[in-house]
Amino acid sequence: MNWKHALTGLTASLVVVLAFSQPTLAFDEAEPTEKPAAEATAETQAPAEEAPAEEAPPLSLTEVYYALDNSMLLLCAVLVLFMQAGFAMVESGFNSSKNTINILFKNLMDVCVGVLIYFAVGYGLMYPGDAGNGYFGYAGFGIGEAGDAGPGVLHPQVDFLFQVAFAATAATIVSGAVAGRLKFSSYLIYSVILTGIIYPISGYWKWGGGWLDAMGFYDFAGSIVVHAVGGFAGLAGAIVLGPRIGRFKDGKSVPIPGHNIAQATLGVFILWVGWYGFNPGSQLAFAGTDNTNAVMLIATNTTLAAAAGGFAAMVLGWIMYGKPDISMALNGVLAGLVGITANCDSVTNIEALIIGVVAGLLVVFGILALEKLKIDDPVGAFPVHGLCGIWGGVATGIFGGFDIGVQILGSVVIPVYAFVTMFILFTILKVIGQLRVSEEDELKGLDLSEHGMQAYH
């Protein structure tokens, strides 16, 4: 059979198949004209349907905005609280393994003790309302009652959660600066005083509507109010305590390497992520075009400054030491984050990059300055949070359009207040013999001497 006969036969077969299948396709697509008897019988016997329940009225736009603002602030509060894990990882990683439990324990207690004392005293001191005179006031125990709901209105409970997470952050900054030689009991005393009294009072001066706020001082999310307070409190503690045994010999700096840089690096990444609760959350309202635009700018500026700070610190450290140092770069990231915190809502992307670069350079010079002065700050808490906190406050005047004189005033007064009050506290503890552990206990490690256990076996 040649190919022509085969093609003719195949064509004829297809025609026959299509002809016989067409009625079937038509039957499949047609709608049945009558329902099956069984289905009709079932419908006849089925009881009448109940009337639908009355639907709840739709939410108003005001209610939607209220729910969105409060729910987003709760999420931001959780992110800021998660920063405690970052601080714990950074501080323990940058210190000796024999002090790991002690550092983790201090960070845990900063939250536990901080929440309780801020609830009882701190919140009322920081937001005294009509009871304040611009410098000091106390609204009373606990949290206020909820008022009318609406756009931009925060429920007092979620506002407390957000604010107490900030208070715990200010306290935990000091933990790294005094690591390896401070008694655990003394640290608890410090944590209560800072979280319950020192931080709330200076916080009131700005965020509670106090005298600095009346002058026009601006600190959007806490470069000064939170970070500089913690950084200068840490500097006071490091000075009064003195350096760790073996940190300086014959007038020369002897580095004590951290035991787990991977852990410290993880901590920095956790802090970076948590900062998106810290800075964007400080907008305090999220619904509406203006708030959305502001939050997006804040988040982007935060990212740019952090990246610029880390890169600048790496480059400067590389030039100075001949090799890139990851510890410098990690602190540079945190420095950039601290520097942008006061002004992330009021500067451009390019200005955020500049602020981050300057912060990254400052943290390297700050670490070197502490070594020259023989002040032992194991994690660089003062250069990162104190020095770069001040830079953030001043940069707000330089780039953010705020009065530079007022910005300098606020950027000096609050850190000096924190340093002096904490210097007095640490000095009192030292005089009564309750500040520093014994030389034997320090050499053994605070995990064993203070807690009777080890992090690693």
Instruction: State the pLDDT at residue 61.
Output: 85
Average pLDDT over residues 136-165: 86
pLDDT-derived band of residue 149, with 50, 70 and 90 as boundaries?
Answer: low
Q: Is residue 172 part of a domain?
A: yes
Which CATH number goes with the domain that contains 387?
A: 1.10.3430.10
Q: Is residue 7 part of a domain?
A: no
Average pLDDT over residues 405-422: 98
Q: Is residue 109 part of a domain?
A: yes
The alpha helices in 30-93, defined as continuous H runs, are: 37-45, 61-93
Q: Is residue 56 part of a domain?
A: no
Query: Which pair of tokens denotes residue 302?
Result: 């935060």
Q: Please say if the pLDDT value at position 441 is more than 50.
A: yes
298-319 as b/e, with b when 16 or more CB fall inside 10 Å? bbebbbbbbbbbbbbbbbbbee
Q: Is residue 25 part of a domain?
A: no
State the Cα–Cα distance between residues 208 and 211, nearest whole angstrom: 9
From residue 238, give the alpha-carbon distance in Å to each of 55, 189, 243, 385.
Answer: 64, 16, 7, 14
What does the CA dihedral 150, 148, 213, 171 come to, rounded to 10 degrees?
-90
pLDDT-derived band of residue 439, with 50, 70 and 90 as boundaries?
Answer: very high
Q: Is residue 323 part of a domain?
A: yes
Least confident of 5-19, 160-174, 183-197: 5-19
Q: Is residue 285 part of a domain?
A: yes
Query: What is the pTM (predicted TM-score) of this model?
Result: 0.86
pLDDT in tens, 6-57: 434 434 443 333 333 443 333 333 444 444 433 443 444 445 556 566 777 7
Instruction: State the pLDDT at residue 457.
Output: 82
Average pLDDT over residues 377-391: 96
From residue 157, give the alpha-carbon distance in Å to each of 5, 104, 143, 209, 282.
Answer: 88, 28, 7, 20, 16
Q: Is residue 24 part of a domain?
A: no
Output phi, psi for 54, to 5 deg: -70, 125
Instruction: Look over the chain and give the mean of its residue pLDDT values, rounded to a whole number.
Output: 89
The domain total for the chain is 1
Q: Kindly write down the DSSP assignment for every residue of 247-265, as one continuous string.
A: SEETTEE-----S-HHHHH
Output phi, psi for 147, to 5 deg: -105, -155
Average pLDDT over residues 190-203: 96
State the Cα–Cα distance between residues 15 and 7, nearest whole angstrom: 13
Q: Could you tell me what percent of the chain has a pLDDT over 70?
A: 87
Domain region containing 180 = 61-451
- Reduce the DSSP state of residue 285 to 3 states and report it: coil
